[in-house]
Amino acid sequence: MADLLALSTSVIDGHASEKDVGPMNRINFRLSEIAAGIAMVEAFSHCIVFETDDGLVAFDTSGVNGGTKVVEAIRHWRKDRFNSLIYTHGHLDHVGGCGAFMKDAVDNGGERPRVIGHENVPKRFDRYIFTDGYNVSINQRQFGQFSRRGYEIQDGSSFLPQSTARPDVTYQQTLDLNIGGMEIALKHARGETDDHTWAWIPEHKAICAGDFFIWCFPNAGNPQKVQRYPVEWAAAMRNMAAQGAELFLPAHGLPIEGKDRIAGVLSDVADSLEFLVKETIGRMNDGARLDEIVHEVQLDPLVLEKPYLRPIYDEPEFVIRNIWRMYGGWYDGNPSRLKPAPDASLAAELAALAEGASKLAERGHELMDSDPRLACHLVELAVQAEPDNQELHEIRAAVYQHRRGLESSLMAKGIFGAAANESKDKLGDA
């Protein structure tokens, strides 16, 4: 069994880096005992299991294609029945493995575990059914690289797996449980989602944090998904930091031990979110346009080098847009974009002024190193002016592929990579 606590301590205290020890988020389906009667199976997401006098309590079930491996790993550790499954929130990588836990109960002739979650979890499931096609396609863009590596978080037929059970017990703000003699205090806060639960387990001085902490910059900006809540997220981090936990168990990445170390990392996350909120709202109140805010507000690059704040999944620029969306409207302050011409009309006009769409594309190609943002505008205009021109698609594919390589976040890489593939597919049609 890996000593995950020693690993995280050495990384947080600066004695080792990811270069020495490998990625913080690992999908290896290995179970590690974190303390007596507490285990973590590292997956996408993790499953965190507590032993009680009346069976096991599992926080999260991992994804639909990971659930069986997670349950197998747990069964090598303990044979007790699953008393309860607690969803930290309703994202598919946390609830999708539910079916494997239910099957385990049937296979062992036992009672089906009780499922517990915030009252917004079933509302999320309803929304997933309502926007099924959209969610399938955005997940393909965001997580396509996972499926290319053979790890699917969807089962292919529908976004929300049929086997995912809705919670039997829901709550609004707090829920105090006593399961087999172990007290668990569930606390709701909005952050990554509106249905999040974090838990305080006093007997172990432990916090189960769900996705409030993911060992990279918080997923508070996601360009393709519904509203995130940076203000409340930061407040939840402060509440967790004040709890005096000795053991911190996130649903992604390594567990953390030590009161001061835990409070320190939580404060760092809260500080960075609060900075983005303060700078963005301050400029909104002063009448700035979104464009100015996005290009002016910058977090200290040294903060983004911390091993648990690197912008490798989401990134601060996207969080700024989410803050604007939360407290403002969709209008960005540029009046020409209130009721704009079709993209294709603007592109055709600019292509004519430039004396050819190919001029726009060639200039985009020239700029792809020195000004990749501008380069993407120019190649996009070029193919919007002439959508069937294969030479323009060849250049567009090259520029977006190059841009993908320059980006740090999985979200930006996914979208730029998908744009490159879109043009490559056009070439295949010849």
Name the site residues for Zn ion (rule: CB under 5 A): 45, 93, 211
Helix axes 372-385, 390-406, angle to 10 degrees: 160
Pairing of strands 247-250, 206-210: parallel
CB 52 within 8 A of CB 181: yes
Q: Torsion over CA of 140, 132, 311 and 187, rounded to 10 degrees?
A: -140
**In angstroms, what is the minimal distance from the CB of 293 to Zn ion?**
28
**In angstroms, what is the minimal distance from the CB of 216 to Zn ion?**
11
* Nearest residue (CB) to Zn ion, 93 versus 274: 93
Q: Which residue has the tokens 């323009």?
A: 392
CB 95 within 8 A of CB 124: no
* Nearest residue (CB) to Zn ion, 45 versus 120: 45
* Nearest residue (CB) to Zn ion, 252 versus 404: 252
Sheet containing 55-59: order of strands: 31-35, 38-41, 47-52, 55-59, 82-86, 114-118, 169-171
* Nearest residue (CB) to Zn ion, 219 versus 272: 219
The backbone region for 356, taken as left when phi is positive above 0, alpha when psi lies in -120 to 50, beta otherwise, is: left
* Nearest residue (CB) to Zn ion, 248 versus 324: 248
Alpha-carbon distances, residue 348 vs 35, 214, 343, 393 (angstroms): 64, 44, 9, 16
Neighbouring CB atoms inside 10 A of 398's CB total 18
* Nearest residue (CB) to Zn ion, 212 versus 400: 212
* Nearest residue (CB) to Zn ion, 153 versus 262: 153
Judged by DSSP in three states, 427 sits in helix
* Nearest residue (CB) to Zn ion, 91 versus 396: 91
**In angstroms, what is the minimal distance from the CB of 396 to Zn ion?**
33
**In angstroms, what is the minimal distance from the CB of 45 to Zn ion?**
5
**In angstroms, what is the minimal distance from the CB of 13 to Zn ion?**
26
Q: What is the largest CA-CA distance in the chain?
A: 78
Cis peptide before 423 (omega within 30 of 0): no
Residue nearest to Zn ion according to CB distances in the complex? 211
**Rounded distance, CA 315 to CA 412, Å?**
9
**Rounded distance, CA 330 to CA 4, Å?**
43
* Nearest residue (CB) to Zn ion, 83 versus 88: 88
Neighbouring CB atoms inside 10 A of 181's CB total 9
**In angstroms, what is the minimal distance from the CB of 98 to Zn ion?**
15
**In angstroms, what is the minimal distance from the CB of 416 to Zn ion?**
23
* Nearest residue (CB) to Zn ion, 60 versus 317: 60
Secondary structure E strands in 108-196? 114-118, 169-171, 174-179, 182-188
**Rounded distance, CA 345 to CA 384, Å?**
8
**In angstroms, what is the minimal distance from the CB of 238 to Zn ion?**
21
**In angstroms, what is the minimal distance from the CB of 198 to Zn ion?**
13
**In angstroms, what is the minimal distance from the CB of 46 to Zn ion?**
9
